Structure 1
Amino acid sequence: MNNINFCFALFFALSHIVGVSLAWNDSRYVHPICTPFECGNLGLIGFPMNNMSLTDCGFYTVKNCSGQPKIQLSREKELWFDVVAISQANVIHIDDQELQKRITARDCTILDDLALPMSSLSSLSTDNNLTMYHCTDKPIDALPLFISSFSCPGYYTYINTSASPNCPTSKSKFVVPVRPIGPNNSAVEFTSNFQLQVTISLPCQQCLQRGGRCSDTQGYIVCEGKNTKSRKVEPNISPKIWAFALGMLISIIVIFVIFIIFIIFIIFIIFIICNKTKGMSNKNKINEIIGRYSIHTPKRYTYSKLKKITDSFKNKLGQGGFSSVYKGKLPNGCEVAVKLLNECTENGEDFMNEVVSITRTSHVNIVNLLGFCYEQGKRALVYEYMPKGSLDKYIFHRGQQKENEEVLDWKMLHSIVMGVARGLEYLHQGCNTRILHFDIKPHNILLDDDFCPKISDFGLAKQCKARESHVSMTGAKGTAGFMAPEVMYRNFGKISHKSDVYSFGMLVLEMVGERKRPHELGVGEISKEEYFPDWIYKDLGRSGIDGAHWWGRTEEEQEMARKMIIVGLCCIQTLPEDRPSITDVVAMLEGSVDDLQIPAKPTLFGPPAIFLHPSSSSSSPSSL
C-alpha cells in the first residue's frame, strides 16, 4: 500500500513540476487592462466590447458611436450589424434594417452572415435558433431547407438537430437566429431583430478575476495582465530523481494497458456467451408472440431454404435502406417476394413488429405474409408476389413505361384510392387491436395483376386498444413528406389514427398531382422545390375546381378527380382534430361529390415560413 501511495504521490509531483517548469519559461508581453468607454445611445460599455482604438482589448468591436452604432461579431468577416442596446449582463440587441432587406430579397448569403461565431474565449447564443449544415452533396439522412420562394442549394437541416450529419464530401455545422411564427409557434423565419447572450469561457473568467486579460493565440487561451506577469526560476531537481520518476510512470502505464486488455478480453467472452443465449431467447420469444397474438401462424423457413427458394438471391426486385427484396418460387410453384433485412439491424423489434402486425390481419387490401426466417442475425419475410410492383412506379415514372405497359387512368386511380382507404379502415376499425401503420406512401402500396392495392411494410406500425385515442412515440418515424405534422412536432397535437389519415391524404394528392406535373405543365411553371399541395390550391384559385378541366377528360373522370382532390385536402389539415376519420373518408369517396366542400388551406403552407420540405425517406421502400 505504501508503494502505491508513493507512486501516485510521485506522479502528482512530476505533473506539477512539469507544469511549473512550463510556466517559468512563459515570458509574454503584458498589455494594460481594458477600460470601459462611452458609445452614444449605448452608454458606458466595456469588456468584452471594444472600440476602434482598442481593437486588441475585447472580442467584439463597436464603431460609429456618434451615429447609429454598429458591432462586428467576428473579426474574420468585415460584417457590421446595427446594434440598439448592450446590457450590463452582456446581452447584445441587434436590429439591422439592411439585413432585413436581404432577408426579404431571399438572399442566400444571409445564411453565412447570420451564422453565430464561436471561439475558445467566448460564445454567442440566442433562445430561438436553427441548426443547419452546408454540404457540397445532398446528405443521405437530411431534409433540405425549405423556404417558400426561397431556395438555397446545399443547405440542409434536420428534424432532430442532434442527428449526426452525413455529408458525402464536406460538412459545416452552424447556428442562425430565427423568430417563431404561426399557431403555437409551429414554424420559424429568419429575422434581423434578435438578442445575443455573450458567454465568456471559464478559463477567460478566471483570468479576469485575477485582473488579467485573455486572448487567443493559435487556439490557446493566454492570460495577460499586471497580476499574471511571469517569473523565471531554475528548478533544482537531480537527474536520478527524474530517471526514477520516468521509470515509475512507464511502469504504471504498462500495468494499466495490460489491465485494460484483460478487461476487454473478459467482456468479449461474456458478449459471445450472452449473444448465443439471446439468440435462443429471441427465437423462443418470437414463437410465443406469434402464437399468442396472430390470427394465423405463418410458416417458418430456414435461411438455407430461402436461398433455395430465391436461387441464391439472384433476382432482386428492389432495395431500401434496411432491406432488399428478391423474387422466389415455392416448391408448389407459387411465386413469392422475399424481404431480407440487413444484418446490421440492431435488434428484432421492427421485425417482430411487422410479423405480428401482418399476421393479425386478413383483408383483400393488406399484403399476405406467407412465412418468415429468424436465425442468428438472418431475418426475412416471405410475402405473396405482387406482379405489378409498387404504386410509385406508375405515378413517379410517368412517360418512362415500357411498350405495352399499362398506364393508370382516372378510374383505376380512384379504385386504388378506394382500396387503400378500405385497407386502412380495416387496420383502424376491423381488428380486435387497432393497428396504426405510420408509413403510408406510394412505395408501400403494392399492386396485383388486377391493380388491386395492398398495404405493405408494417415495420413502423404500432398497435393499441381500439378505444385508445392516441399513442406515444419516441422520435419522428415515417417518410418525410408523408409524416403528419404532429409526428415531427408534438405541439401540433397527439399522435393517433389521424396521422395515418394525413399520410393517406398526401398519397392521394401525389396520385392526382402527378397526373399533370410531368408533361402538362409548362417549363418553369412550377419549381421542383415547391410543395405540391400549394400549386393545387393555386390552380383551384385561378380556375375553380369546376373549371380545372385537366383533372379529367369525361364528366365521370372529372367527378372522380374532384372527389379525390377534396378528400386529399381534407386529410392533410394541420391539426389532427380537423381531419376526418378513415371511416368518414371511405364514406366521402363512396358518396356524391356535390356533398363535399374544399377545406381551408392548411396553416403550414405559404411564405415566408421556414419548415422542413418533405422529400427524403426515413423508411426503406418495399417493392414486393
Structure 2
Amino acid sequence: MDLTMSCSSLSLLFFISLHIHFLVPGSGKFLPFRECAPFVCGDKNISYPFRHNERPTHCGYPGYELGCDGHNPTLVMESLTYRVIHMNTNMQILEVARKDLSDDLCHGAHVNTTLNSSLFNYTSSDLNSILFYDCDSSPIFGSYPFSCPTSGDSYFAPVVDLEHLPQELCNFSVLVPISQSDEAPDRPPPSEDSDFGAPINHAARISEILNKGFEITWIANTAQCENCTESGGICGYDWKRQRFNCFCTDGAYSPTCNGTRVPGSFPSRNKKMGLKVGIGMAALGAGIVVTLILMRALIKQRSVHFDGEMKIEGLVSSRRYTYKDIKRMTNSFEEKLGQGGYGCVYKGKLGDSQLVAVKILKKLKGDAEEFFNEVASISRTSHVNVVSLLGFCFEGSKRALVYEFMPNGSLEKFIFNRSNTLEVDRQLSWDTLYQISLGIAHGLEYLHRGCNTRILHFDIKPHNILLDANYCPKISDFGLAKICSRQESIVSMLGARGTPGYIAPELFMRNIGGVSHKSDVYSYGMMVLEMVGRRKNIEVAVDRTSETYFPHWVHRRLELRQELGLHGITNEEDEAIAKKMIVIGLWCIQIDPRARPCMTQVVEMLKGSVDTLQFPPKPLLSSPSRSLAACPCESSSLQEGNDSSWGYSISIIRDRLSL
C-alpha cells in the first residue's frame, strides 16, 4: 500500500471526524470556542498563547502549557516545575521561581536551571547565582553558608565566575537565576557576619531571594490574538498546519471571526446531529490510526530534520552540498588540517580546482545550534576580514561547512606554542602584527555596524582568526554568535559563552553591565595583548600574580616608563606599534563595558598616532569607576578614569542582594 495515499485518504476522514466532533450537540456552538476560553488560577486570568495542561492542545501555542496548584499557575521547563508569580501580558514577561527550591532549599533537584530557547528568553534583570552543596569549605570568597541536615556545609553565591569555580570543594552545585531588581532587607550587622565569628545560617534569607524568582520572556507572537478577541472569537492554534486559529461560535476562522473560514472547518449546525455523531465516531477511529501511522513512519524520520530545514530556509547565498559531494571534494577526507572539540577540518577542492577547507561537525549539542548559528550568521556577511562560507551540508545527522581555504592557518600558530617560543620562520614582524590587528578590528566593526543585522561573535580568539597567503586576517567560527537587530544594544543571555581567558566579565557578573557588542571588544583586547606579548595572557599552570598576568605586567611597565622588553623590537617604529597595540588592548579590556571603545573607535585609534592616545586605567576586577564616562560609538574621545585597587569588592554583591 502506498503510505502517502493511505495517509491522505485517512487524513480526510480524520478531519471530517474532528469537525463533526467539534460541534457540541444541542449547544449550537463550535466546541473549541467553549473549551478554549480563558481560565482562572488563583488571582490570574490566563489565556492564549498559554493553555491549561488538561485542555486540548489546540487551545494554546505549542510548548506553553500551564498547570494550577490552586494558588499559582505552574510551568514545566526542561523537567523542572516553576511557580508563575506574575504575568505581564503587555511585555510578554513571566516572573517564575523554581518550585523544588522554593519547597525545600536542601532537597531540590541538583540540576542547573535551563530554558527552552525556542520558547523563552532571560531578561536583562536576571542575575546568576549558584548553590553549592556538601562542601569541604567555602568554594568562593563572599559566599553565604546555610545548613542542610543530610550533607556537609552548603553555600550560596549571588554572582560567580562560571568558568573558574573550584568544583572539587563541593559535591554538587546548582545554577539558578535571581532578580537583581528586588528590594531586600539590610545586611546583618558585623557582629553576626560569618567573617567575624561562627558561621550564620542564611537559609531563610536565601529561600526568600529564590522565592522572588526571576524574569523570562515568551517568544510566541500574540498580535493576532487581540484582533481575534475583539471580533468575538477565542484564540487557538492548529498544531498540524502550524498556524493561528480564531475559534468562533460556528467554526474556525483566520485571522478574525470576520475573516476567512479555515479550510475543513465544520460549516453548518443545521444538519441532523445523530448522523454526524455516528459518522464522527467512525472517522475518529480512523483518525487515531492516521496519527499512529504518521508518528511511526514520518515523525521519527522528519521531526529533527524539519526543524533544521526551517532554520536554513532562505539562505540562498551559500550552496548546499550532499554528503557524497563532501566526500568527493575531500578525496574521502584524505588531508586533515586541524581538529577541535567541534570535529575536524579537511583540505578539499571544488570542481573548478578552488581549494577549500571543510569542517565536519561532530558531537553537536541538542538541536545542533552551533551549526545553524554559523550558517545563519556567515550567510549574512560579505567582508574581506570575515571568512567566506562557500557551502554547507545538512543531510540526516551529517553536518559540514565549506569555507575558503586559508593557506597560513590560524593566528595562534604565529603567536605562541606550548613552550612560549616560536621558530624563526613563524615570527611575524611588528608591522604584520599591526596590520592583522587592524584587519580584525575592521571585521568586527562590520559585524557590529555594517550588516543589516548586528552579529555578536562571542568567541574572538587567535584560534578563530584565519590568515590567507598575504596574512590578511579573517574572522571565523560563528558557532556561538548571536544575531540581533542593529537597534538592540543589550542582549538577553544567561551564563558565559566563549573561551576562558577571552570572556568579557559582564557575561558572568551581571551587575557590571549588560551583554552587548562591547563583549566582543573585550575579547579583541585580550587577543591583541597576546599578539604583543606573543604568549597567553593567563597561564593556567601557575598562580595569577602580577608577574604572570601579562596585562598587569605591561600596564605597570608603561606606567613607570620602563622598557617593554618585548620580543623582536629593533627600531622606534616597532616600539611605537607595540605601545599603540598595548594601550588599545588595555582600553578594550576595561571591566566596565562603558569604558571600552567601540570597534569604530578602535579602528580610529589604530590608524592614529600613539602620542594622541590617553593612558588607560589598570584593567582590574574592581567596581566600575564613577569617573568613567560612557563610551558610545558616537563619542570622539575616551574619558580618563581613576585607577582603583585590586580585587572585586564583595560589598558590591552584598549591597545588591542585601544579605
1:494 corresponds to 2:498: no
**Superposition deviation, residue 572 in structure 1:** 0.7
| TM-score normalised by length of structure 1 | 0.55
Match of residue 96 from structure 1: none
1:565 corresponds to 2:577: no
Q: How does 1:505-520 map to 2 (within 5 A)?
A: 505-514=525-534
Choose which of 182, 199, 205 in structure 2 pairs with 1:195: 199
Aligned-partner residue type, residue 548 of structure 1:
L
Q: How does 1:329-478 map to 2 (within 5 A)?
A: 329-397=349-417, 405-478=425-498
Match of residue 588 from structure 1: 605
| TM-score normalised by length of structure 2 | 0.52
Separation of aligned partners in 1, 2:508 and 2:301:
38
Q: Deviations over 1:419-454 (max 9, x none)?
A: 000001111111111111111101100011111100
**Maintained 8 Å contact 1:126/1:197:** no
Choose which of 270, 274, 290 in structure 1 pairs with 2:315: 290
Aligned-partner residue type, residue 174 of structure 2:
S
Q: Secondary structure at the match of 1:421?
A: helix
Q: Deviations over 1:85-113 (max 9, x none)?
A: xxxxxxxxxxxxxxxxxxxxxxx99979x
**Structure 1 residues 590 and 268, CA gap change in structure 2 (3 angstroms):** farther
**Maintained 8 Å contact 1:144/1:157:** no
Q: How does 1:216-255 map to 2 (within 5 A)?
A: none
Choose which of 572, 577, 587 in structure 2 pairs with 1:555: 572
**Maintained 8 Å contact 1:122/1:198:** no
**Superposition deviation, residue 281 in structure 1:** 1.8
Q: Deviations over 1:373-404 (max 9, x none)?
A: 00111111000111111111111228788977
Separation of aligned partners in 2, 1:419 and 1:313:
32
Aligned-partner residue type, residue 377 of structure 2:
S
Q: Secondary structure at the match of 2:327?
A: helix
**Maintained 8 Å contact 1:365/1:423:** yes
**Superposition deviation, residue 609 in structure 1:** 5.5
1:535 corresponds to 2:535: no
**Superposition deviation, residue 514 in structure 1:** 2.1
**Structure 1 residues 360 and 328, CA gap change in structure 2 (3 angstroms):** same
Separation of aligned partners in 1, 2:530 and 2:423:
24
Q: How does 1:158-307 map to 2 (within 5 A)?
A: 161-162=173-174, 191=195, 193=197, 195-197=199-201, 270=295, 273-282=298-307, 284-291=309-316, 297-307=317-327
Separation of aligned partners in 1, 2:292 and 2:194:
51
Structure of greater relative contact order (alpha carbons < 8 Å, 6+ residues apart): 1
Match of residue 308 from structure 1: 328
**Structure 1 residues 376 and 124, CA gap change in structure 2 (3 angstroms):** same
**Structure 1 residues 485 and 471, CA gap change in structure 2 (3 angstroms):** same
**Maintained 8 Å contact 2:147/2:203:** no
**Structure 1 residues 298 and 517, CA gap change in structure 2 (3 angstroms):** closer
Separation of aligned partners in 2, 1:122 and 1:394:
50
**Maintained 8 Å contact 1:124/1:196:** no
**Maintained 8 Å contact 2:312/2:376:** no
Separation of aligned partners in 2, 1:508 and 1:566:
10
**Superposition deviation, residue 533 in structure 1:** 1.4
Q: Deviations over 1:335-364 (max 9, x none)?
A: 111111115432133212211211111111
Q: Deviations over 1:181-238 (max 9, x none)?
A: xxxxxxxx995656322889xxxxxxxxxxxxxxxxxxxxxxxxxxxxxxxxxxxxxx
**Superposition deviation, residue 528 in structure 1:** 10
**Structure 1 residues 408 and 289, CA gap change in structure 2 (3 angstroms):** same
**Superposition deviation, residue 285 in structure 1:** 1.6
Separation of aligned partners in 2, 1:444 and 1:474:
23
Q: Secondary structure at the match of 2:437?
A: helix
**Structure 1 residues 344 and 505, CA gap change in structure 2 (3 angstroms):** closer
Q: Secondary structure at the match of 1:507?
A: helix
**Maintained 8 Å contact 2:521/2:598:** yes
**Maintained 8 Å contact 1:566/1:596:** yes
**Maintained 8 Å contact 1:124/1:198:** no
Q: Secondary structure at the match of 1:143?
A: coil
Name whichever structure is richer in helix by fraction. Answer: 1
Q: Secondary structure at the match of 1:412?
A: helix
**Superposition deviation, residue 515 in structure 1:** 6.3
CA RMSD of aligned residues (A): 4.2
Match of residue 177 from structure 1: none
Aligned-partner residue type, residue 388 of structure 2:
N
Q: Secondary structure at the match of 1:195?
A: coil
**Superposition deviation, residue 120 in structure 1:** 4.5
**Structure 1 residues 383 and 111, CA gap change in structure 2 (3 angstroms):** closer
Separation of aligned partners in 2, 1:317 and 1:352:
23
Separation of aligned partners in 1, 2:170 and 2:534:
27
**Maintained 8 Å contact 1:303/1:378:** yes
Match of residue 30 from structure 1: none
Separation of aligned partners in 2, 1:462 and 1:128:
28
**Structure 1 residues 308 and 190, CA gap change in structure 2 (3 angstroms):** farther
Choose which of 481, 491, 500 in structure 1 pairs with 2:501: 481
Match of residue 220 from structure 1: none
**Superposition deviation, residue 324 in structure 1:** 1.8
Separation of aligned partners in 2, 1:548 and 1:402:
19
**Superposition deviation, residue 529 in structure 1:** 9.3
Separation of aligned partners in 1, 2:163 and 2:583:
31
**Structure 1 residues 538 and 280, CA gap change in structure 2 (3 angstroms):** closer
**Structure 1 residues 577 and 120, CA gap change in structure 2 (3 angstroms):** closer
**Superposition deviation, residue 602 in structure 1:** 2.5
**Structure 1 residues 399 and 602, CA gap change in structure 2 (3 angstroms):** closer
Structure 2 unaligned residues grouped into runs of 5+: 1-135, 177-192, 205-290, 623-644, 651-659
**Structure 1 residues 111 and 339, CA gap change in structure 2 (3 angstroms):** closer
**Maintained 8 Å contact 2:464/2:477:** yes
**Superposition deviation, residue 284 in structure 1:** 3.6
Q: Secondary structure at the match of 1:290?
A: coil
**Structure 1 residues 436 and 110, CA gap change in structure 2 (3 angstroms):** closer
Match of residue 616 from structure 1: none
**Maintained 8 Å contact 2:416/2:535:** no
**Maintained 8 Å contact 1:125/1:197:** no
Separation of aligned partners in 2, 1:348 and 1:383:
19
Q: Which moved more, 1:118-127 or 1:422-431?
A: 118-127
**Maintained 8 Å contact 2:312/2:375:** no
Separation of aligned partners in 1, 2:482 and 2:139:
39
Separation of aligned partners in 2, 1:275 and 1:568:
51
Separation of aligned partners in 2, 1:517 and 1:482:
9
**Superposition deviation, residue 162 in structure 1:** 2.9
Identity of aligned residues (%): 46
**Maintained 8 Å contact 2:501/2:537:** no
